[in-house]
Amino acid sequence: MRYTSFMAVLESGKRNIAILGAGFAGITALVHLWKLLGRENLQHEYQIVLISNRAWHLYTPALYEIAAVPHGAMSSAILKRAICIPIEFILGKFTGARFIAGEIAGMDPKRHTILFRNGDYLPYDYCIAALGAETNDFGIPGVSEYAFGLKTFEDAIRLRNRAEELAINTDGILRIVIVGGGATGVELAAEFVNFFCEIKEASRTPGRCIEEITLLEAGPAILAGFHPTVVAGAAKRLEQLGIRIRTNAVITEVNAREALLKNGGAIPYHLLVWSGGVMPARALKQFGMPLDPKGRLLVNQNLEARPHVWAIGDCAGYTNPATGKPVPGNIPVAERQAERAAKNIVAVIQRRTQYPFRPLKRWPFILTAGGKYAFADLGRMRFSGRIGWFAKQLVQLRYLITILPFGRAISVWMLGLRVWTSNDPGHRIPTQNRRPA
Ligand SMILES: Cc1cc2nc3c(=O)[nH]c(=O)nc-3n(C[C@H](O)[C@H](O)[C@H](O)COP(=O)(O)OP(=O)(O)OC[C@H]3O[C@@H](n4cnc5c(N)ncnc54)[C@H](O)[C@@H]3O)c2cc1C
């Protein structure tokens, strides 16, 4: 294990650059900072200390796949290896960087100290906050009690287990309601079609249930913020798969059997999935720094929350000066902000001027829609179908090569491909599932 103790960090005699969180923003910050410290010959004076409550980095773009692989197809241990990349593997590439596994409770910015849930504390010289976001039920009664989330690996396994149990034990119509017509809801709804086909094929009593998947969206259309051609294409694809889309469906309460709507209606369900929103990591409330209205750390154009502390990714409250709006919470934003924060730390160390963050006009995105089918919006290029799906795999490979030693990157990628395609019967989608939307 390359994990480190507090004492080893303190006794090293080096100055600390703490990165809080090992998500996309934190890991990308590590990659850039490590390279910059090496290039500027600063690695003898400064050490990077990565801190996270998980000993792995979760590859979220494939999380919906984990929730849609039947028990019989792959063990949970294999699923975990495909999507949870051990920090130990990552540190194999970034030698000298240290990792502390711990739950951060807050910060004392005046004393330059990170506070841990177990009472430990760690001083820092520079810090990048990249604590991401967590599921937000907006306080709607019943959601936390009855709905399944999809934010962590454990969420995905819990959801998969419940869906499979229901598919095997339900006679007649099995009602699955997915709340939130953003990317996560769309990807999961589409992949669930394959999942249920696979379970029914494997089951000794196939065809006992007919699943009815409904995607609920509070706004006027699914995939808010996506290009209109992607929205139209995805809606058509979902309808072809037999998924019902209900827009302007605002949920006010959930009980054990129904989701109640603002307009007075009720939607019965057997399985309710909540992908209706996220909120910044709750530890940020104890950082003693100003937050934006959504609870993210307010940052300036250089991504600084206060001197010596930068915030990036889903936990950063950055406003695009060109639009007056926050940037979206996605991986390209997290990566670009991470690169900028790393550069700015080195600029401050070297007493140079910092670089302002420059948001893109359009952020690239690849959205899968069941099996080997995806919509890719890469700014100038938009395409869909198998080619979109292959593009998504190549993006993952490129990312893995950036953060892992080459051999590891290839083996994690190959395992992922095996897992992602393990429930892709495509041609076997039974016609009884193609119910009109
Ligand atoms: C199911 C799903 C699918 C997605 N698919 C896509 C996609 O296809 N494309 C895309 O661009 N975006 C996608 N996203 C969004 C993307 O995952 C986020 O925008 C991105 O992960 C943000 O990176 P981050 O580092 O800010 O946060 P995260 O990746 O969430 O990382 C936060 C890190 O902080 C750690 N942490 C949190 N609180 C604490 C604490 N108190 N103490 C210690 N550690 C803590 C967490 O364990 C984690 O390591 C998806 C999100 C989900 C949930």
Structure tokens, 225 = 């913020």
**For residue 324, how far is its CA from the centre of ligand 1 (angstroms)?**
24
**For residue 87, how far is its CA from the centre of ligand 1 (angstroms)?**
15
**For residue 311, how far is its CA from the centre of ligand 1 (angstroms)?**
14
Cβ burial of 108 (10 Å; 0-12, 13-18, 19+) is middle
Residues of the chain with CATH 3.50.50.100: 62-82+137-276+369-437
- Of ligand 1's listed atoms, the one at least distance from the Cα of 105 is 41
Q: What CA–CA distances, in Å, run from 82 to 229, 386, 388, 391? A: 32, 21, 21, 18
Pocket flag, ligand 1, residue 151 (CB < 6 Å) = yes
Query: Does residue 145 sit in helix, strand or coil?
Result: helix
Pocket flag, ligand 1, residue 52 (CB < 6 Å) = yes
Query: Does residue 249 sit in helix, strand or coil?
Result: coil
Pocket flag, ligand 1, residue 136 (CB < 6 Å) = no
Pocket flag, ligand 1, residue 53 (CB < 6 Å) = yes
Pocket flag, ligand 1, residue 141 (CB < 6 Å) = no
Pocket flag, ligand 1, residue 132 (CB < 6 Å) = yes
Structure tokens, 402 = 């950036």
**For residue 334, how far is its CA from the centre of ligand 1 (angstroms)?**
9
Pocket test for ligand 1, best of 52, 117, 118 (most atoms within 8 A of CB): 52
- Of ligand 1's listed atoms, the one at least distance from the Cα of 27 is 25
CB-based contacts of 178, cutoff 8 Å, min separation 6: 185, 188, 189, 192, 213, 214, 215, 216, 273, 275
Supply the pTM of this predicted model.
0.94
Beta carbons of 214 and 176 less than 8 angstroms apart: yes
- Of ligand 1's listed atoms, the one at least distance from the Cα of 21 is 34
Residues of the chain with CATH 3.50.50.60: 6-53+102-135+279-349
Pocket flag, ligand 1, residue 25 (CB < 6 Å) = yes
Pocket flag, ligand 1, residue 280 (CB < 6 Å) = no
Nearest CA to ligand 1 atom 16: 330
The CATH code belonging to domain 62-82+137-276+369-437 is: 3.50.50.100
Pocket flag, ligand 1, residue 154 (CB < 6 Å) = no
Pocket test for ligand 1, best of 127, 331, 393 (most atoms within 8 A of CB): 331
Walk along the chain (437 residues) and give the pLDDT tens digit of each residue: 456 677 777 778 899 999 999 999 999 999 999 999 999 999 999 999 999 999 999 999 999 999 999 888 889 999 999 999 999 999 999 999 999 999 999 999 999 999 999 999 999 999 999 999 999 999 999 999 999 999 999 999 999 999 999 998 888 899 999 999 999 999 999 999 989 888 877 766 555 778 899 999 999 999 998 989 999 999 999 999 999 999 999 999 999 999 999 999 999 999 999 999 999 999 999 999 999 999 999 999 999 999 999 999 999 999 999 999 999 999 999 999 999 999 999 999 999 999 999 999 989 999 999 999 999 988 778 899 999 999 999 999 999 999 999 999 999 999 999 999 887 765 444 444 444 43
Cβ burial of 380 (10 Å; 0-12, 13-18, 19+) is exposed
**For residue 423, how far is its CA from the centre of ligand 1 (angstroms)?**
25
CATH match for 6-53+102-135+279-349 among 3.10.20.30, 3.40.50.300, 3.40.50.720, 3.50.50.60: 3.50.50.60
Pocket flag, ligand 1, residue 48 (CB < 6 Å) = no
